[in-house]
Structure 1
């Protein structure tokens, strides 16, 4: 039975996800229209878009992600919303995330060494120590908002990787808020309240922060555009003048990236690497605390942490969707797709596909194998996937072990991020004995 178009369009609207991921709608679409047309109504001050094909089944999502010859990351970049101008599109295309092979592989090789097994082993020791510090700081309180606690670890980790001084870590949070949380008024207007504690480079960046940018016809400027992130890129170039040895910034300089490639690579690490964990870890803990049997099992069996982390990522995927653009006329899921059409894969739907996961709406931390697509698939499989697992494991394990009787604070319902891209929580108040 055909579904009403307005009902289908809910998977595009950011406000939908402020109420929760529409898993029931995804289920109905997988059954009746697994590749379906979604409209892009005007929202958030931006005009209506041309619409796109939503891909909901696990097999079709993986097919799109592993077939860049048919579904390009480069042609239209990887966000549903089209860049504002040809110049913005050209800039976005320089990002590794928005490249197709072989250029994607060239950029990936420039930073792969930072994620080698030996580099991760060394980093994991520091991550464990930092997770212990964070939990020790809040343990005497008996109650805390877990979101800022969880957000600290990826920001701290990325600062080490990038070579960003400790005093400037808050800049990474500000940039992430503007880029990822731009659909949410609580995040879009955030900033650095007091820049006095930043380094000289940091204060100079804050002074260059663009204010309320609009296009010539009065629309809000895409927050991922070069103009909207002028302060971030100025900071990146200043940092690169004397990069800490061994940092990714130093590696990027040695690799001979162009100015635009360097800027977008810094963006990718500083924002994407931060935001995924910032949303995934609170979402994972919330999932555990709302499934008491699984929380108790993990408390008794910390040896299940590895499988638990993958199950939490399946159950609460930090990234809801990604876009591709058809390079030629193709058929997918019985639908004819024309060259140039937007094609948007929904990780959140694929992770609940009944044909792949038994009882998919049940959280099961013993689930193995676990073929979730929360880290993507194909040539763009997340370069930092193992680092993300290390951080999530360290913090979840430490919280469960050292905050006894952990539960959601009564009367303090979590608040969700308004975003059709990131599956996030803005607050998660927890308490313990």
Structure 2
């Protein structure tokens, strides 16, 4: 069975190729995939083997080649290795520990209360129009509001975070890769950063947004914001982080803050920006489940976990073998790319009965949408809080949402993304 389509971003404009993934998974846990612009890689397709790779960083490194399939240029690799996402223990453990301590119970409780209010306001305002785009008018705003609160980003600068995430998440999609989002009333810090915003080249494309050189406006803004948080801390989570000194006198540097800002602005946004519309599609295409959840709202926490499994917003991450090893009987040479495929593992028949079925009562806890091991998503709790708040607001409506047109999918082999989800209101 030809595995090439799972790498082709055009494949995903129609749908995630679950039937192909199931066939490949049946053939074996590990499958070689050729690249037109690279050496190729091993795709890890089954749940148990994905978990093994993710919890064994001494064998499968995030740092050696970073975490995207495409090999970074050598000069770019040196820089992206400084990001927490692309680190291995002990460097990763140190930074993650500092960040974890910044998310205090008080800060999380304050965020949860605000998130619930924002979700209700977004849904109520959209429903007043009768017909609206759930992806653009509702789902895109909630993670931005949350991340702006985490970082203490002024309200008038939030649109910049939308622009930055468009450019990074959609680098394979011409519509998103050249984002022309504009906002009014930005702060001086934002205006200074915008002077550095790159222009599309002769080919109409922006510089690679996964490098520092491709996002100079984001890094300039992050640098200034980090200095402000250190000198004039507020009540936000990042002010707490920048004020914290660990037992050995260590603290987060401005450079580390810049990289955390990039990571949260993109990774902290993308899972929710695509997971919320994906959850809504699950309900729209399973009306019986939608009705049952309306009648039994106590099922919502479990339903959110099933939405994350069934949709799987982030489809894969890369590791690089540090030594000659073997996985599921397959020899893997040191230096080889090993890519864990979450959208396959989350439908592995060995773990999930009838995996293509959306099941509100499926036992939660086995899906890998937040990863596994030392890199388990630091924002998983906040992501769940946001999804539960959004769907509580939807379920509390006196009307039901229905499709008002075909969803438009993101051209990406990395993000299971929705650019547009037109819906209308109808009576129950």
2:130 counterpart of 1:137: no
Counterpart CA distance in 1 for 2:149 and 2:297 is 28
Equivalence for 2:248 = none
2:418 counterpart of 1:402: no
Structure 2 residue runs of 5 or longer lacking an equivalent are 245-250
2:248 counterpart of 1:253: no
Deviation, structure 1 residue 186: 1.1
Choose 131-140 or 155-164, whichever is displaced more: 131-140
Aligned pairs for 1:24-423 (under 5 A) are 24-41=19-36, 48-84=37-73, 86-148=74-136, 149-193=138-182, 195-212=183-200, 221-243=207-229, 244-254=233-243, 256-402=251-397, 404-409=399-404, 412-423=405-416
Equivalence for 1:44 = none
Q: Please give the per-residue CA displacement for 1:94-148, whole angstroms capped at 9, x wherever unaligned.
A: 1111111111110101211343443222211111111111112122211110012
TM-score, normalised with respect to structure 1:
0.93
Structure 1 residue runs of 5 or longer lacking an equivalent are 42-47
Counterpart CA distance in 1 for 2:205 and 2:114 is 44
Counterpart CA distance in 2 for 1:321 and 1:75 is 17
Deviation, structure 1 residue 213: 5.8
**Is the Cα contact below 8 Å between 1:279 and 1:423 reproduced in 2?**
yes
Q: Please give the per-residue CA displacement for 1:300-348, whole angstroms capped at 9, x wherever unaligned.
A: 1111000000000000011000000000000112211000000000000
The alignment's C-alpha RMSD in Å is 1.8
TM-score, normalised with respect to structure 2:
0.94
Counterpart CA distance in 2 for 1:165 and 1:259 is 19
**Is the Cα contact below 8 Å between 1:74 and 1:93 reproduced in 2?**
yes
Equivalence for 1:45 = none
Choose 261-270 or 55-64, whichever is displaced more: 261-270
**Is the Cα contact below 8 Å between 2:177 and 2:206 reproduced in 1?**
no
